[in-house]
């Protein structure tokens, strides 16, 4: 199997408190795959992304991307930093820089020569139907538009992969659905590898090729689901509902909700 | 059944209250100034020492035509800027050290409290005794007086830094210079402007006080001193007006436009 991102036996605990966040995680993502990590709040999903993006150094385990080791046994392996796009829960744009400048900054930091910025910015804004807003201030955009700028920024740097941390959870339902469909479309057009973290089972089933199930914190990966429904998918597709129902039963047990079970 | 949309208050057309319009503001300021000058007109014949507005105007016209006047203003301005630069630099280093470790913060906090509390007049006298009647005395006085206030402002600015933007900058591999220029400094801009304004206003006062005491031959404070020696009240008034012009000139000519530019992302249409 083509293991583009490979995480082996990974553990991380918070340095100041010693509280474990993730434990013995094994996970592989193929190139061009849309992988979702599904877990309850506080299960260490974000920690995993922070490790993949290079913000946190894990104490144990190995992380390789495209056969280049990033971390090995708690050490950061000195190598070229992997360019990764990141979408946070909020769009996290600099409010005092215009939409175009926000993307330009990421391009500059990623080492793109200055004479290429304009073209890259324009094409990516076009792809997200934002070309009108290149010189707009982020504060003047709607939540959905800001999220799309964040998508444009993460794609523009030609990343090895894009990490997404519940990026649509703060948006309203309609905007969220619209953006999920748009994201899938972009993913198919660009072939980029995406690791998407969410606590919404429906969202995960709708988006992913493979879906990793995590326990409540400290998080362990306890299952891998393959969602082999054909694309494009419909959010209301009854087959999604069926998979969702099956997963709910699996997950509830692990997430520890049976102690105070609600009638279903 | 037809639906009828009722406008919620914030969308209902608003009547702009007259008192909020800028024209009223200017008018009110003009009335304030007019009142003072009117009182002056009425009162000056009753005293033996108050010059008439006309005399002051004439004195002002003479001073405006003399190049020495501008030299004095520029000299004071130079002293202020050097002092501010030194004070800001020291405050920046101390604030940075305090941010880096709480040990340094505790270490420096006593200096900051003492520096805030010591009367600025005493600071000026100290400096004159230690450094003599030199330029250095003025520089050090200004630096010492503004230093603690700048430290406090910078400290507040550091507190307001958002870890989430910092994470974003790290994920996208922005270098140190880029993080400072595009993330930290814009984030701290409100505190930086606050610090600059306060330091500027405070600095002017201490420059003038030190100049008065140091028996400098030139500078705005020296002009005050000379006016006092000759009991030339008209000249004193003129120099106070010059002082106001310089201070307001920088406020309206430099600080306000600069601030509008830096914060233009805020008052864009919502």
Burial class (CB in 10 A: 0-12, 13-18, 19+), B144: buried
Q: Which residue has the tokens 């999903």?
A: A45
Please tell me the predicted confidence (pLDDT) of residue B91: 93
Contact (Cβ atoms closer than 8 angstroms) between residue B63 and residue B238: yes
Predicted confidence (pLDDT) at residue B234 exceeds the cutoff of 70? yes
Categorize the per-residue pLDDT at B10 as very low, low, confident or very high, splitting at 50, 70 and 90: low
Predicted confidence (pLDDT) at residue A264 exceeds the cutoff of 50? no
Taking an 8 Å Cβ-Cβ cutoff, which residues of chain B contact chain A?
A: 164-165, 167-168, 170-175, 178, 182-183, 186, 189, 262, 265-266, 268-270
pLDDT digits (tens, 9 = 90+) for B40-94: 888 888 888 888 888 899 999 999 999 999 999 999 999 999 999 999 999 999 9
Nearest CA-CA partner of A198 in A174, A221, A165: A165
> Across residues B249-269, what is the average pLDDT?
87
- Alpha-carbon gap: A240 to the closest alpha carbon of chain B (Å): 33
Name every chain B residue with its beta carbon within 8 A of the beta carbon of A90: 164
A residues 88..117 contacting B (CB < 8 A)? 88, 90, 92, 94-97, 105-106, 108-110
Q: CA–CA separation, A137 vs A146, rounded Å?
A: 10
Please tell me the predicted confidence (pLDDT) of residue B189: 92
Provide the CA A155 distance to its chain's centre, in angstroms.
Answer: 12
User: What are residue A213's phi and psi, to 5 degrees?
Assistant: -100, 130
> Across residues A16-33, what is the average pLDDT?
90
Of B170, B183, B262, the CB nearest to A55: B170
- Alpha-carbon gap: B264 to the closest alpha carbon of chain A (Å): 8
Of A55, A96, A108, the CB nearest to B171: A55
Radius of gyration of chain B (CA): 25
Name every chain A residue with its beta carbon within 8 A of the beta carbon of B167: 55, 88
Please tell me the predicted confidence (pLDDT) of residue A223: 86
Name every chain A residue with its beta carbon within 8 A of the beta carbon of B268: 137, 139-140
Please tell me the predicted confidence (pLDDT) of residue B9: 52
Residue of A98, A105, A160 to mutate when probing chain B, most B C-beta within 10 A = A105
Q: Which residue has the tokens 């000519």?
A: B253
Contact A55 B178 (CB under 8 A): no
Of B173, B183, B270, the CB nearest to A110: B173
Contact A140 B164 (CB under 8 A): no
Burial class (CB in 10 A: 0-12, 13-18, 19+), A36: buried
Predicted confidence (pLDDT) at residue B11 exceeds the cutoff of 60? no
Cβ neighbours for A38, distance < 8 A, ≥ 6 positions apart: A198, A199, A201, A204, A211, A212, A213, A214, A247, A251
Please tell me the predicted confidence (pLDDT) of residue A262: 47
What's the pTM value of the predicted model, to 2 decimals?
A: 0.81
| DSSP-assigned beta bridge partners for residue A76 | A71
Please tell me the predicted confidence (pLDDT) of residue B25: 85
Categorize the per-residue pLDDT at B2 as very low, low, confident or very high, splitting at 50, 70 and 90: very low
Q: Does A55 reach chain B within 8 Å, measured CB to CB?
A: yes
Contact B182 A97 (CB under 8 A): yes
Of A54, A86, A94, the CB nearest to B165: A94
Categorize the per-residue pLDDT at B17 as very low, low, confident or very high, splitting at 50, 70 and 90: low
Of A90, A94, A109, the CB nearest to B173: A109
> Across residues B22-28, what is the average pLDDT?
86
Q: CA–CA separation, A224 vs A205, rounded Å?
A: 12
Contact (Cβ atoms closer than 8 angstroms) between residue A34 and residue A227: no
Predicted confidence (pLDDT) at residue A94 exceeds the cutoff of 60? yes
Structure tokens at A226: 């393959």
Categorize the per-residue pLDDT at A54 as very low, low, confident or very high, splitting at 50, 70 and 90: confident
Burial class (CB in 10 A: 0-12, 13-18, 19+), A220: buried
Global ipTM: 0.88
Contact (Cβ atoms closer than 8 angstroms) between residue B184 and residue A96: no
Q: CA–CA separation, A188 vs A208, rounded Å?
A: 12
pLDDT digits (tens, 9 = 90+) for B40-50: 888 888 888 88
Nearest CA-CA partner of A87 in A182, A189, A215: A182
> Across residues B169-179, what is the average pLDDT?
92
Q: Does A19 reach chain B within 8 Å, measured CB to CB?
A: no
Categorize the per-residue pLDDT at B151 as very low, low, confident or very high, splitting at 50, 70 and 90: very high
Alpha helices in A157-217 (DSSP H): 173-190, 201-207
Name every chain A residue with its beta carbon within 8 A of the beta carbon of B160: none
Residue B136 CB: number of other CB atoms within 10 A? 13
Please tell me the predicted confidence (pLDDT) of residue A74: 79
- Average model confidence (pLDDT) across chain B: 87
> Across residues B237-259, what is the average pLDDT?
91
Q: What percentage of chain A reaches a pLDDT higher than 70?
A: 95
């Amino acid at each position: 199997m083509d293991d583009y991102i490979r995480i082996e036996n990974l553990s991380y605990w918070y340095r100041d408190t010693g509280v474990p966040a993730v434990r013995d995680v094994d996970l592989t993502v193929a190139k061009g795959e849309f992988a979702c990590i599904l877990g309850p709040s506080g299960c260490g999903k974000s920690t995993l992304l922070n490790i993949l993006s290079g913000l946190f150094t894990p104490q144990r385990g190995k992380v390789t991307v495209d056969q280049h080791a990033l971390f090995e046994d708690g050490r950061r392996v000195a190598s070229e930093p992997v360019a990764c796009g990141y979408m946070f829960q909020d769009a996290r744009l600099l409010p005092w820089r215009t939409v175009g400048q926000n993307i330009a900054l990421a391009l500059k930091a990623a080492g793109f020569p200055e004479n290429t910025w304009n073209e890259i910015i324009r094409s990516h804004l076009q792809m997200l139907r934002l070309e009108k807003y290149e010189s707009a201030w982020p504060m003047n955009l709607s939540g959905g538009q800001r999220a799309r700028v964040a998508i444009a920024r993460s794609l523009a740097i030609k990343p090895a992969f894009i990490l997404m941390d519940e990026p649509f959870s703060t948006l309203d339902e309609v905007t969220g659905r619209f953006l999920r469909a748009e994201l899938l479309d972009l993913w198919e057009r660009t072939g980029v590898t995406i690791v998407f973290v969410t606590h919404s089972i429906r969202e995960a089933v709708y988006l992913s090729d493979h879906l990793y199930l995590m326990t409540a914190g400290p998080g362990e990966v306890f299952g891998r689901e393959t969602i082999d429904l054909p694309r494009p998918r419909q959010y209301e597709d009854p087959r999604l509902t069926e998979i969702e129902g099956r997963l709910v039963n699996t997950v509830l047990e692990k997430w520890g909700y049976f102690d105070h079970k609600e009638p279903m | 059944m037809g639906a009828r949309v009722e406008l919620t208050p914030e969308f209902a057309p608003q009547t702009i209250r007259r008192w909020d319009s800028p024209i009223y503001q200017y008018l009110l300021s003009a009335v304030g100034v007019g009142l003072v000058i009117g009182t002056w007109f009425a009162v000056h014949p009753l005293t033996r020492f108050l010059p008439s507005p006309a005399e002051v105007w004439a004195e002002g016209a003479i001073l405006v035509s003399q190049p020495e006047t501008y030299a004095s203003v520029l000299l004071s301005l130079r002293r202020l800027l050097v002092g501010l630069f030194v004070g800001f630099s020291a405050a920046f280093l101390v604030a940075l050290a305090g941010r880096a470790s709480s040990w340094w913060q505790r270490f420096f906090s006593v200096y900051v409290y003492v520096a805030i509390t010591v009367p600025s007049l005493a600071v000026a006298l100290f400096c004159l005794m230690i450094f003599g009647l030199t330029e250095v005395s003025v520089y050090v006085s200004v630096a010492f007086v503004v230093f603690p206030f700048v430290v406090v402002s910078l400290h507040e600015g550091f507190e307001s830094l958002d870890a989430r933007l910092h994470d974003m900058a790290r994920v996208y591999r922005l270098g140190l210079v880029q993080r400072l220029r595009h993330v930290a400094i814009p984030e701290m801009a409100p505190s930086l402007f606050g610090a600059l304004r306060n330091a500027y206003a405070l600095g002017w006062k201490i420059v003038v006080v030190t100049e008065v005491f140091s028996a400098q031959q030139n500078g705005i404070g020296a002009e005050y001193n000379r006016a006092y020696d000759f009991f030339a009240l008209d000249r004193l008034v003129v120099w106070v007006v010059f002082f106001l012009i310089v201070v307001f000139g920088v406020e309206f000519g430099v600080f306000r436009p600069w601030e509008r530019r830096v914060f233009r992302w805020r008052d864009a249409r919502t």
